[in-house]
Amino acid sequence: MKRRVGVVVFPGVNCDMDTYYVIKDVLKGDVRYVWHTETDLSDLSCIVLPGGFSYGDYLRAGGLAKFSPVMREIKKMAEKGYPVIGICNGFQILVEAGLLPGAFLKNKTLTFICKMQYIKVVNNTSIFTKGYKKGEVLRIPIAHGEGNYYLDGDTLKEVLDNDQIAFQYCSEDGTVGEEFNPNGSTYHIAGILNKNKNVLGMMPHPERASEMILGSVDGAKILKALVD
Amino acid sequence: MADSVLNLEEIIISDRVKKHLEVLNLSEDEYRLIVSYLGREPNEVELGMFGALWSEHCGYKHTRKLIKELPTEGKYIYQGPGENAGVVRVDDVAIVFKVESHNHPSAVEPYQGAATGVGGIVRDILAMGARPIALLDSLRFGDVSKPEVRHIVSGVVKGISDYGNCIGVPTVAGEVYFEDIYSNNPLVNVMCVGVTKVDKLVKAVAKGVGNLVVYYGSKTGRDGVHGATFASAELSSEKEDTRSSIQIADPFVEKKLIEATLELVENGLVVAIQDMGAAGLTSSSCEMAAKGGVGIELELDKVPVRVSDITPYEIMLSESQERMLAIVEPSKLEKVREILDKWELDWAVIGKVTDTRRCVVKYRGEVVADVPLKYLVDMVPTYVKPAKEDQNVKKLRDIKPNLIVEDYRDVILKLLSSPNISSKSWVYEQYDWSVQTNTVVGPGRAGASVLRIKGTNKGIAVKIDGNGRYMYASPYNGVMVAVAEVTRNVSFVGAEPAGITNCLNFGSPDDPNVSYQLQQAIKGLAKACKELGVPVTGGNASLYNETDGVQIYPTVIVGCVGIIHDINKIVDGVFKKPGDLIALVGNETKEDFGMAEILKIIGSDVCGKPPIVEFDVEKRLQEFARFVISHGLISSAMDISEGGMIVPIVEGIIDTKLGARIDLSVMPVYPSIALFSETPSRGIFSFDKEFLDTLKMIAEHYGLKFRVIGEVIDKDELVIEGLPEGSLVLSKEELRKAFYSKPF
């Protein structure tokens, strides 16, 4: 079935056009922008919350976007099992909106970090990650100031029990450890799924790793899964 | 003025006006000139408007005559100086770019000063109707061992990071240098590049009598009143109250301003736009009207304001950030309203275009200012101040530098770890350089950064350079080195230099030595640009960079945009595979250690003559580089500048699993000269062995020295042979430790 992807635009997001470009021009998918006040998403089969600084990250990252009218509809879609992916700021919004567990802290360096990053596929059963091998190492850029994803012990146990961890930060050869974790996130988590595995939040930017000219195509399969 | 009825000498200036003149940084003679222009004394608001528009920042009082020498024509030029930014063109793509300084605000409040510096130059590009696609910054700080300097460094970097990242414009390149002389006067120069289609470009030219003046963006507050005049005066530790001149940044509003403005332009809803930057409403309204040969009438009651008791004087001179002024036909106002409301921006119709060629400002039913625009904008007094070189500088230049290298390992590692040479990843990793998905070659990989232009097979290369130490010893020759270096960097990724933008950072031109530096530097800039055939599209002047009598080095920052005709035919500076040969190409290596980086490292006096660019060689080297890159003959190219040839060799291997073996015995000069000389017009190229003969022939055709000095090896180390002590092996680990050491 051909799908139609909605890329949600809150004032202040800045990866909306990049994500749209990859889905439409690189992956040849059907895609449209969704303005944050929209309430009818019935034409869409999946949702991308792109990265950026919705509402300037004022209050805290994602803290204001969760109140936008479109979020009610997105919650409904997520509950019905439609795929929803939040990238970077989109991940933060999904956490703020309660669609994913946890919370975000400032990076352990207390600075913004932008660089190429290695991540490892942990769960490869979800719609987003099924194109990868378990343990496969991907090279995808990160660009964030508040990517230190925090889970308390009970929640960590729960997500481990449910196999919800999609990606972990790692070295080039797949080694996981403190020195390969750029922001200090719990259990080196770079991406996480909800219980039903139809909602994914991830800090790395797959739309920046979908064309060879930009140095990596390792992220393309994640977005491709939404198109096919 | 000949037709003036007033005798200038007889104008008595009251103490109250004198105080006001001091705040505005206007001279008494300039006041008399204003009185003679108007035929009466200006009121307070009018005098404030003159102060703003006659400041160096807006009026180019001390540079206007000098910059006439700069070449402004070239094959890619679409818009030269005079607009909000310059434009070069390839096919139907317009590339808009400009560099601007925010030195004074960054000295007083580093975080806000740098952030608002980014915001301001982005709006200049936006005002041309172009989407900002890249930022570059050139930073100069003092001695980094001083805590107060570290405070400035951290604040400036965070200011740029927070602002640029939030608005989603990648910071793709830049440079950072530390010299004690900048301790109290840091330099923050930011360049922005934008793209649009040629037919979507907008000019800041008001037209159409009866058209509306639409204000949009943030509300107007008292912040930054006198900002333009502040930026055009010396700092002093006694003038602590200048803090009120600082503006506060709101990148979220800027992001909305970008999207709203581009939507207005895309839908053809605006006649003209200008950013309310330096001198705010005054400069934007008066400059647009003056350029259009029309008049403008403003009603200040309509301006969205933050505080109700703000005065007309403050409204006219406020530099509150994130504000734009557009000229709109009345029939299109409804559509403009829809877009501005959608983006949740404050906006108001605050006036109209008239045919009076005057700026008339009304407030609460009264006319509070009424001035012919030509006096404010076109008849700015210009000066070329008496110039005389400081004899101490001449003496410094005449001392021959003393280079003695005893322990090569020690000197190489010290050089690599020095703050001016070491990797700037601690800075650029704080900037989002990959947003917008156009960054093909990002920071740290080549001399210049490369961006693609989506929807075409074209790209651009961008870079910014300027060695203030060279310019101090010889402003004329130093600037020429900067122009040669920036264009070389652009050519070395495979791009054709298309246009130059510059920022003139100097001390007070009232000092004869500064006046001399200014004149010599602009002469050098003009000569270099003519020699290399790259026109100047615009720039900015920041004078009075001195605190308590200490002047900065004369620092001309040169930004360059180059055109890449096929985005798939580029190289970076990283070595690619074992067995590739490494060659030194270009000019013969000379004993160029005047004002060189290595002198500081070995504890020798920094003195001597900076290198002299041989433009004939420089031009041929750049043509050679572009030719061999476009034909796929080389694997990497990197120019040689501060620190000498050793630096690009290390950069070639540092982030790879490869190493290099270099043999200095093939060089006709002593090893210390081979490794550390800063002779311009040279580069390090790596290439597959099979192309050796071809490359030699092509280099010969271009009349260049071509010397194979080593090869890329499959081992994590750098081997240097032919040293006095034999050969030296440096492990990648120790190289990395040195090169990636942070200054604090």
ipTM, interface predicted TM-score of the complex: 0.96
User: Checking DSSP bridges between strand B659-663 and strand B717-723, what pairing results, if any?
Assistant: parallel
Note whether B434 contacts A141, CB cutoff 8 Å. yes
Instruction: Give me the sheet containing B682-687, strands edge to edge.
Output: B636-639, B682-687, B581-586, B705-713, B659-663, B717-723, B726-731
Note whether A113 contacts B251, CB cutoff 8 Å. no
Flag whether B320 is in a domain: no
Note whether B429 contacts A115, CB cutoff 8 Å. yes
Note whether B435 contacts A214, CB cutoff 8 Å. no
Determine the average pLDDT of the residues in B145-170. Answer: 97
Q: Which residues of A touch B162 (CB under 8 A)?
A: 112
Flag whether B728 is in a domain: yes
Active-site residue identified among A15, A46, A88, A170:
A88
Task: Please name the member of B251, B252, B434 whose beta carbon is closest to the beta carbon of A143.
Answer: B434
Residues with Cβ within 8 Å of A182's Cβ and at least 6 positions away in sequence, in order, are A107, A109, A113, A115, A117, A142, A147, A169
Which of the four pLDDT bands, split at 50, 70 and 90, describes residue B64? confident
Residue B140 contacts A, CB cutoff 8 Å: no
Flag whether B601 is in a domain: yes
CA of B268 vs chain A CAs: smallest distance (Å) = 21
Flag whether B351 is in a domain: no
Per cent of chain A over pLDDT 90 is 96
Q: What fold, for A4-227? A: Rossmann fold (3.40.50)
* Residue B483 pLDDT exceeds 80: yes
* Residue B403 pLDDT exceeds 50: yes
Q: Are B21 and B28 in contact (CB under 8 A)?
A: yes
Q: What pLDDT is recorded for position B56?
A: 83
Q: What pLDDT is recorded for position B242?
A: 45
CA of B223 vs chain A CAs: smallest distance (Å) = 21
Structure tokens at B322: 């994130």
Q: What pLDDT is recorded for position B349?
A: 98
Q: What pLDDT is recorded for position B3?
A: 47
How does DSSP assign B360-373, residue by residue? EEEETTEEEEEEEH
* Residue B244 pLDDT exceeds 60: no
Q: What pLDDT is recorded for position B1?
A: 41
Active-site residue identified among B20, B102, B104, B226:
B102
Which amino acid is present at B461?
A: A
Query: What are the pLDDT digits (tens) for A130-188?
Result: 999 999 999 999 999 999 999 999 999 999 999 999 999 999 999 999 999 999 999 99
Active-site residue identified among B57, B62, B104, B226:
B57
* Residue B162 pLDDT exceeds 80: yes
Tell me which of A27-41, B25-39, B215-229, B365-379 is least confident.
Answer: B215-229
Flag whether B529 is in a domain: no
Residue of B nearest to A37 (CA): B342
B364 burial type by CB count under 10 A (0-12 exposed, 13-18 middle, 19+ buried): exposed
Which of the four pLDDT bands, split at 50, 70 and 90, describes residue B23? confident
Note whether A11 contacts B256, CB cutoff 8 Å. yes
Residue B344 contacts A, CB cutoff 8 Å: yes
Flag whether B348 is in a domain: no
Q: What pLDDT is recorded for position A82?
A: 97
Determine the average pLDDT of the residues in B279-286. Answer: 93
Flag whether B671 is in a domain: yes
What CATH number is attached to the domain comprising B702?
Answer: 3.90.650.10
How many domains does chain B contain in total? 2
Note whether B252 contacts A214, CB cutoff 8 Å. no
Query: What are the pLDDT digits (tens) for B137-152?
Result: 999 999 999 999 999 9
Query: What are the pLDDT digits (tens) for B67-113?
Result: 999 999 999 999 888 888 999 999 999 999 999 999 999 999 999 99
CA of B167 vs chain A CAs: smallest distance (Å) = 7
Query: What are the pLDDT digits (tens) for B197-230?
Result: 999 999 999 999 999 999 999 999 988 787 666 6
Which of the four pLDDT bands, split at 50, 70 and 90, describes residue B520? very high
Residue of A nearest to B260 (CA): A11
Separation of alpha carbons B234 and B547, rounded Å: 6
Task: Please name the member of A14, A15, A114 whose beta carbon is closest to the beta carbon of B255.
Answer: A14
Separation of alpha carbons B643 and B146, rounded Å: 23
For A226, the enclosing helix (H) or strand (E) is helix A220-227
Closest to A207 (Cα-Cα) out of A192, A193, A197, A222: A222
Which residue out of B172, B435, B564, B567 would a mutagenesis test of the A interface target, given it has the greatest number of A Cβ atoms within 10 Å?
B435
Per cent of chain B over pLDDT 70 is 96
Q: Is the dihedral of CA B102, B106, B108, B111 positive or negative?
A: positive
Note whether A53 contacts B168, CB cutoff 8 Å. yes
Note whether A11 contacts B435, CB cutoff 8 Å. no
Flag whether B2 is in a domain: yes
Active-site residue A144, yes or no?
no
Separation of alpha carbons B646 and A170, rounded Å: 33
Cα–Cα separations (whole angstroms), residue B47 to B82, B381, B633: 24, 15, 63
Note whether A113 contacts B158, CB cutoff 8 Å. no
Taking the CB of residue B668, how many other CB atoms lie within 10 A of it? 10
Active-site residue identified among A73, A96, A146, A207:
A207
Q: Which residues of A touch B163 (CB under 8 A)?
A: none
Q: What pLDDT is recorded for position B243?
A: 43
Return the bridge partners of B499, or none: B561
* Residue B61 pLDDT exceeds 50: yes
State the residue range of the domain holding B612: 571-744
Active-site residue A170, yes or no?
no
> What residues of A are in the B interface, CB distance below 8 Å?
11-12, 14-15, 17-18, 21-22, 25, 51-53, 55-58, 111-115, 141, 143, 145, 205, 207-208, 211, 213-214
Which of the four pLDDT bands, split at 50, 70 and 90, describes residue B240? very low
Note whether B161 contacts A214, CB cutoff 8 Å. no
Separation of alpha carbons B572 and B579, rounded Å: 18
Task: Please name the member of A15, A114, A213 whose beta carbon is closest to the beta carbon of B433.
Answer: A114
Residue B432 contacts A, CB cutoff 8 Å: yes
Query: What are the pLDDT digits (tens) for A67-82?
Result: 999 999 999 999 999 9
Determine the average pLDDT of the residues in B290-296. Answer: 96
Q: What pLDDT is recorded for position B245?
A: 62
Q: Are B144 and B176 in contact (CB under 8 A)?
A: no
DSSP-derived 3-state class of residue A109: coil
Note whether B255 contacts A12, CB cutoff 8 Å. yes
Determine the average pLDDT of the residues in B482-487. Answer: 98
